[in-house]
Amino acid sequence: MKKIIIGAHVSTAGGLYTAFDRAQLIGAEAVQIFGSSPRAWRAKMPTKEECEKFKKEREKYSISHVFLHAAYLVNLASGNSDIFLNSKQSLIDHLSIAEMIGADGLIFHIGSSKGITRSEALLQEIEAMREIISRVPGKAKLIMENTAGGGDKVGDSIKEMGELYKKTGSDRLGICFDTAHAFEAGWVESYTKDSVKKLFDEFDKEIGIENLCAIHANDSMTDSGSYHDRHANIGEGKVGETGFRALFSDKRLHSIPWILEVPGVGDGPDRKNIDELNKIFK
């Protein structure tokens, strides 16, 4: 059987290239990093030397995929024009960094339509995604991640994500499926063989399974339908070992990298979580 790729979000303290060493230490085969500070609007662009170092360093490790995660502040669906314009610029900058270092794509949260109607927010989001992609020529994908739902969250159903996907109309748009968020948004009551099949049948119909670029493999501290985003270590949350085993039962997910964002013992994904997922996937 083909081995599943399990990766992790890792720190880049000390330079972007340091991600690979941290990944290897915990046994991660794919990485997600922040291309610049996740807490700032303005991105610090890496120098040419830093980009070269990153690419050269990558060759020493067996890392299959590199993803960037966008800044926390980003909200392309916001009715506040300052927030919207800053979000758009931030995504342009971070997607540029992805392109510069040869990353596969930039994963971002779709956002929340505070201050405008849902249809205005969807239109704004679609136009902005088109602009971001056209402003950053290249191969790196702009990747929408599903949310834990609730409030004015946009793209809180597969159908609405599909609408965003189709209306943006770019093959450089991708999707990241977060196992905790989908559960928290109430897309499934629990992950079972049947509910997983049904979910990804719908995903395939509305979005196209070939557009799934990454899975965020997170357990959830909160219940299904809680709309409350709290990641838990693999097997220690409400998704549980049985939930991950059910997800694994869908062969369509076997070729996708599974990226952990779980807390570990507080510092983020660790070897214990990777081993746990490997054990479940056996």
Find the shortest distance in angstroms from Cβ 261 to Zn ion.
5
Q: What binding mask, one character per residue, do residues 243-282 give for Zn ion by CB under 5 A, x or -?
A: ----------------------------------------
178 binds Zn ion (CB under 5 A): yes
d(CA 86, CA 91): 9
Cβ nearer to Zn ion, comparing 29 with 178: 178
The SS3 call for residue 54 is: helix
Cβ atoms 228, 148 nearer than 8 A: yes
| Alpha-carbon distance values, 147 to 3, 18, 34, 87, 182 (Å) | 28, 29, 19, 17, 7
Find the shortest distance in angstroms from Cβ 36 to Zn ion.
18
Site for Zn ion in 80-99 (CB under 5 A): none
* Catalytic position from the list 39, 82, 171, 267: 39
d(CA 4, CA 201): 21
Q: Which of 52-59's residues contact partners 24+ apart within 8 Å by CB, and which partners?
A: 53/15, 53/16, 53/17, 54/16, 54/17, 54/101, 54/102, 55/101, 55/102, 57/17, 57/20, 58/17, 58/20, 58/102
Q: What binding mask, one character per residue, do residues 131-170 give for Zn ion by CB under 5 A, x or -?
A: ----------------------------------------
* Catalytic position from the list 104, 109, 184, 270: 109
Angle at 219 between CA 230 and CA 192, to 5 degrees: 130
Find the shortest distance in angstroms from Cβ 83 to Zn ion.
21
Q: Which stretch binds Zn ion (CB under 5 A): 43-51, 173-181, 192-200, 243-251?
A: 173-181
Q: Which of 141, 153, 216, 238 binds Zn ion (CB under 5 A)?
A: 216
Site for Zn ion in 8-37 (CB under 5 A): none
| Alpha-carbon distance values, 176 to 53, 127, 203, 265 (Å) | 27, 20, 12, 25
Active site residue 181: yes
Find the shortest distance in angstroms from Cβ 216 to Zn ion.
3
* Catalytic position from the list 93, 178, 184, 276: 178
Which residue type, as a one-letter code, is found at position 269?
A: P
Find the shortest distance in angstroms from Cβ 178 to Zn ion.
4
User: What is the binding site for Zn ion (CB under 5 A)?
Assistant: 178, 216
